[in-house]
Amino acid sequence: MSIESQIVQFLFTGIALGSIYAMVALGFNIIYNATGILNFAQGEFVMLGGLVMVWLSVTLGLPMPLAFAVTVAAVMAVGALFERLAIYPLKKPPVLILIIITLAGSIIFKGSAMLLWGKKTYSLPHFSSEQPIAVLGATILPQTFWIIGFLAAVVAALALFFNCTMLGKAMRACSFNPTAASLVGINVKRIVLLSFAVSAAIGAIAGIVFTPVVLMEYDRGTMLALKGFCAAVLGGLGNGAGAVVAGLLIGILESFGAGFISSAYKDAIALLVLLLVLVVRPGGLLSRGEASRLKDF
């Protein structure tokens, strides 16, 4: 395999991985913007998306599009329920408590998934053919293009939602100033609920498109959440475009790092980037703002 083909191969692998990180980062940002909470259970939404999809489409034999829709709806419901049961009842909880609650949530989701699905690894058929496509000497799975396509679709849908719908604008208003938003008649509590539902949906989509390539099991969430968080911080917390760019960047860095530097330290790359960003440029790569402007999360 020539070095050029290797580079193309690494690039596509990185973009596919990065798309997933980007979707997780987007999920982080939506909740963060609405509430200032870092949802540690974000990776579990991805895991749930994958496993519910497997259950519906493989075990129950539902047609793919229907199973897809039901899965997204189900995980959305889980996200909303989590908010209603664990976040909503607390009146002005301190941030520390919120962190611990989402941490507890993630462990509970993981534990429940383990009880429901066991510790087995599940696979899902590819959306289209499994026959790799040759590009410049590299071989790329059609599913890779599905993943990239879904990331584009999610980004487009979010852009439309936040810029062109009343609800989306209300959410943005909340992220700028919740008090002011409630003064102009926006129901902030409902926006918080919505943010959990939307970011659960994004997580579910990521899980569904990702599972055919990498299989899925109950404890995949933590690492995905960590990588997604790296992307979110690198892109500047709360910054949607930043999350996508940073997610892709981390995926590509990882893939090249594993290929050319050391596969043993593959997972450390994203984390080192995170620590470095925290030290050098806490506002994220794309932000011109100062660290002090960051929300007190």
Partner 1 sequence: MKKLCTVIMGCMLLSLAAPAAFAAEPYRIGAIFAVTGPAAWLGEPQKNTVKMLEEQINAKGGINGRKIEVIVEDSVGDEAKAVLAFKKLVERDKVAVVIGPSRSGPAMAVKPLAERSRVPLIACAAAEAIIKPVSPWVFKTAQNDADAARSIFDKARSMGIKRMAVISSTDAFGDAGRKQLKAIAPDYGIGIVADETYVPSDTDMTAQLTKIKGTDAQAIINWSIVPAQTTVLKNRTQLGITLPFFQSHGFGNINYARSAGAAADGVLFPQGRILAVDTVAADHPQKAVIAQYKKDYEAAYKTDVSAFGGYAWDALMLAVDALKSVGDDRAKIRDYLEARKNFVGVSGVFNFSADNHVGLGQESFEMLTVRDSNFIVAK
Partner 2 sequence: MHVRKNIPLILLVASVAAAALLITDPYILTMLIFIGIYAIATMGLNLLLGFAGQISLGHGAFFALGAYVSAILTTRFGAPCTAAAALAVALVCAIAWAVGLPCLRLKGHYLAMGTLAFGEIIHITLNAEVELTGGPSGIAGIPVLSLGPFSADSDARYFLIVWCVFIALFVLTRNIINSRPGRALQALHGSEQAAGAMGIDVAGMKLTVFVLSAAYAALAGVLYVHFVAFVSPQAGDIMFSIKMVTMVVAGGMGHLWGGLLGAALLTVLPEMLSYFEDYDMLIYGGILLAMVMFMPGGLTQGLARLSGALRARRTAVRPGAVTGGRTEDPVPRRTAQ
Residues that bind partner 2 in the complex, under the rule CB under 8 A: 36, 38, 86, 89-90, 92, 94-97, 99-101, 103-108, 110-112, 114-115, 222, 226, 229-230, 233, 262, 264-265, 267-268, 271-272, 274-275, 278-279, 282, 291-292, 294-297
Footprint on this chain of partner 1 (rule: CB under 8 A): 1, 3, 6, 9-10, 13, 16-17, 119-123, 132, 138-139, 141, 210, 213-215, 217, 219-220, 223, 254-256, 258-260, 263-264, 266-267
Q: Which is nearer to partner 2, 11 or 30 (CB)?
A: 30
Query: In the chain, what is the straight-line distance between the N-terminal and C-terminal CA atoms, in Å?
Result: 47
Cα 10 from Cα 137, distance rounded (Å): 12
What is the token pair recorded at 133?
């496509």
Cβ closer to partner 2: 61 or 89? 89
Tokens 């993981």 label which residue?
Answer: 110
Name the binder of 288 from partner 2, partner 1, none, CB < 5-8 A by kind: none
Q: How far is the CB of 204 from partner 1 (least distance, A)?
A: 17
Per DSSP, the chain holds a count of helices (H) and strands (E) of: 11, 2
* Burial (0-12, 13-18, 19+ Cβ within 10 Å), 259: middle
CB of 93 to partner 2, least distance (A): 8
CA atoms 76, 12, 122, 56: torsion sign: positive
E-strand ranges in the chain read 133-135, 138-140
81 binds, among partner 1, partner 2, none (CB under 5 to 8 A by kind): none
Can you tell me whether residue 122 is helix, strand or coil?
strand
Cβ atoms of 14 and 255 closer than 8 Å: yes
Query: Which option in partner 2, partner 1, none does residue 96 bind, with CB closer than 5 to 8 A by kind?
Result: partner 2
The residue among 12 and 28 lying less far from partner 1, judged by its C-beta, is 12
